[in-house]
Structure 1
Amino acid sequence: MKTMVKSFVLLLVGALLLTACSTKAPGSDSDSKKKGKGDLKIGLSISTLNNPFFVTLKEGAQKEAKKAGVQLKSVDAQDDSAKQANDIEDLVQQGVDVLLVNPTDSAAISAAIESANSAGIPVITVDRSAEGGKVVSHIASDNVEGGKMAGEYIAKELKGKGNVVELEGISGSSAARERGEGFHKAVDKEKGIKITAKQTASFDRAKGLNVMENILQGNKNVDAVFAHNDEMALGALQALEAAGLKDVIVVGFDATDDAQKAIKDGKMAATVAQKPDMIGSEAVQTAVKVSKKEKVEKFVPVDLDLITK
């Protein structure tokens, strides 16, 4: 009898051990290898949220992330390359699955992108490109084409003759370089158009105002202004109005709400519409595809429009 009881106990212990061994630990086995939509984490590093354009871009990304059922963690670099590098390192440490980057400086961002590459995190650039590191896709409007549209409009309005001021964006950013390139493709062939001043105002309205004020102190003979974004254009407009110059053609880039109102009111002449909400949306859609190992285009273009009164 004792032998039978002992055998039964041994069998029971063995069965319990087998059951324990076969129980799956949380997050183990094949279930953990496949993330659900809600588990997908996308990081978004934005150059600055002090610019309405990038606020709209972020909102477009947030709406798409909510629609897709994925997590979106966004950080604001405040136009500081060093802060952006630290922000990206934090996102890497937080274990994001895909990284969206809107560079403050296209060259300076390279090391941060390489850091994400080393961690095995796919990187997608948004609106502005990067000069280094591996990027799986770039989501943006064709800035060269947009600059050309602005230049052609100004040349046409001036009938090929006049003095033009160019306010450039942040030095080192791809957007400033490309918009300037497109603009000069259009105006440099016009022998009667002279670029009387070309200075950076860092995509900022207050700086646009200050730079334009300084330019006007030396020369008020200005027929048109092309600013690489609407914020600088609106700042320049303030300086022109204060100087009593109301007939100057002012063209911006981005089609922000304030710029469109200024056009409607007859103060600004035109702006190139980039559709930032669509850029943000496309960026998240592309990030989801990348997370699923789907093939994506190296460049995903977003349409441009020229908005006038």
Structure 2
Amino acid sequence: MRTMAVVFLALLVGTAVILLPLQDAQEEMSRPAYTVGVVLKAMDSEHWLAVRSSMQKAAEENHIRLIVMTPENEAAYGEQDQIIEDLLQEGIDALIVSPVNIHHTAQWVEEAQQRGIPLLTIDEKLPGIPYVGSDNYRVGQMAAEEMAKRLPAGTSVGILAGSANQDAHMKRTAGFRDYLREHTDLHLVAVAAEDTKYRQAALESADMLRQHPDIRGLFVTSAVMTLGVIDTTEGNQPPIHIIGVDTQSDALAALRLGRIDAMISQDGHESGKMGIDLIVKELQGEGIDGDHFISNEVITKGDANAYQMKED
């Protein structure tokens, strides 16, 4: 009996010796390969929820620990700067940011570069930093081309843009303006830049139309602002033709009802996944310099149902 006990004990010890390296290997495999900090503009729209969701899925597939944070709103650049500073102090391996104010980025860009932390921007371009998102100048051109199909030569139009502190809105405005000047006989008579909020857009569009009652078309550079504008302009006679950007579900619903003429799509899922895929390449030693554009398309009333099904 004693001999059997000794043999049994030896087997147990031998098994433990075998299992311990296996357990260590499993624990090693379960550890994230990298930690990536992500600081988005906000989390108050379907677009940013889609960006975060697709990032989280792509990070899980790539075995990455993801830290996603946002400031209180898109005007809170000081809070966003502090969030980024804190993340840089935490020893992250890479950083993805969608700046709320492109004029207040130099400090954390420089710090990331000094620390050797790869940096990628999403939705907002910064000079010399790899970018993923829409070609926003082209988005503006697409909107202008669509507007020109709906209005006769000589018609007055306006632009209601988002914050002048964000490159995306400025590029959309420039693309729309340049296309009108170079390819159409439409007259751009008013441009207003406001925060990307529903109420401000409603008030600003009402003021613009009071000052320029001849306006028959408005290009609005975000979906949230577009919804504010249509609540102000609906019922106007003659009607105001409205083209917006982004394709969240409430904007698509308004499009189906004919309250919006067209929307230029911007797929948050595509942006988020591409952002993670690119930063993984950078961390693995592949260069990701330059711009990486997602696809954009013109969505009209007849396309809205099909596009919604594709998004779902």
Q: TM-score, normalised by structure 2?
A: 0.82
CA distance in structure 2 between the partners assigned to 1:87 and 1:227 by the alignment: 30
**Structure 1 residue 270 corresponds to structure 2 residue 266:** no
The residue that corresponds to 1:195 in the other structure is: 188
The residue that corresponds to 1:113 in the other structure is: 109
The residue that corresponds to 1:53 in the other structure is: 47
- Residues paired across the two proteins, number: 273
**Structure 1 residue 230 corresponds to structure 2 residue 226:** no
Change (3 A) 1:262 1:114: same
Contact 1:147 1:181 in 2 (8 A): yes
Of the three residues 50, 60, 68, the one matched with 1:74 is 68
Q: Secondary structure at the match of 2:36?
A: strand
Sequence identity percentage: 23
Alignment of 1:181-260 (within 5 A): 181-189=174-182, 192-241=185-234, 244-245=236-237, 247-260=239-252
Query: Unpaired runs of 5+ in structure 1?
Result: 1-30
CA distance in structure 2 between the partners assigned to 1:253 and 1:146 by the alignment: 8
Deviation string, structure 1 residues 217-260 (Cα, Å, up to 9, x no partner): 3343321110111111111111112x644721110011221211
The residue that corresponds to 1:102 in the other structure is: 98
Contact 1:240 1:246 in 2 (8 A): no
CA distance in structure 1 between the partners assigned to 2:249 and 2:150 by the alignment: 23
Of the three residues 79, 83, 92, the one matched with 1:87 is 83
Per the TM alignment, residue 191 of structure 1 is displaced from its structure 2 partner at its CA by 6.4
The residue that corresponds to 2:19 in the other structure is: none
Deviation string, structure 1 residues 93-143 (Cα, Å, up to 9, x no partner): 111101001011222122211121122211001111124xx62x2111111
Contact 1:139 1:282 in 2 (8 A): yes
CA distance in structure 2 between the partners assigned to 1:95 and 1:246 by the alignment: 58
Per the TM alignment, residue 268 of structure 1 is displaced from its structure 2 partner at its CA by 0.2
Change (3 A) 1:119 1:159: same
Q: Secondary structure at the match of 2:141?
A: helix
Per the TM alignment, residue 297 of structure 1 is displaced from its structure 2 partner at its CA by 4.2
The residue that corresponds to 2:141 in the other structure is: 148
CA distance in structure 2 between the partners assigned to 1:285 and 1:190 by the alignment: 37
Q: Secondary structure at the match of 2:145?
A: helix
Contact 1:110 1:130 in 2 (8 A): no
CA distance in structure 2 between the partners assigned to 1:274 and 1:254 by the alignment: 5
Query: Unpaired runs of 5+ in structure 2?
Result: 1-24, 302-312
Q: Secondary structure at the match of 1:223?
A: strand
Of the three residues 159, 168, 174, the one matched with 1:175 is 168
Of the three residues 282, 294, 297, the one matched with 1:290 is 282
Based on CA coordinates, which of the two structures has the bigger radius of gyration? 1
Instruction: Letter of the 2:43 partner, please give it.
Output: L
Per the TM alignment, residue 76 of structure 1 is displaced from its structure 2 partner at its CA by 0.7
How large is the RMSD of aligned CA atoms in angstroms? 2.1
Deviating above 4 A after TM superposition, structure 1's stretches of 4 or more consecutive aligned residues are 34-37
Instruction: Letter of the 1:155 partner, please give it.
Output: A
Per the TM alignment, residue 276 of structure 1 is displaced from its structure 2 partner at its CA by 1.4
Contact 2:177 2:188 in 1 (8 A): no
Q: Secondary structure at the match of 1:250?
A: strand
Q: TM-score, normalised by structure 1?
A: 0.82
Change (3 A) 1:124 1:222: same
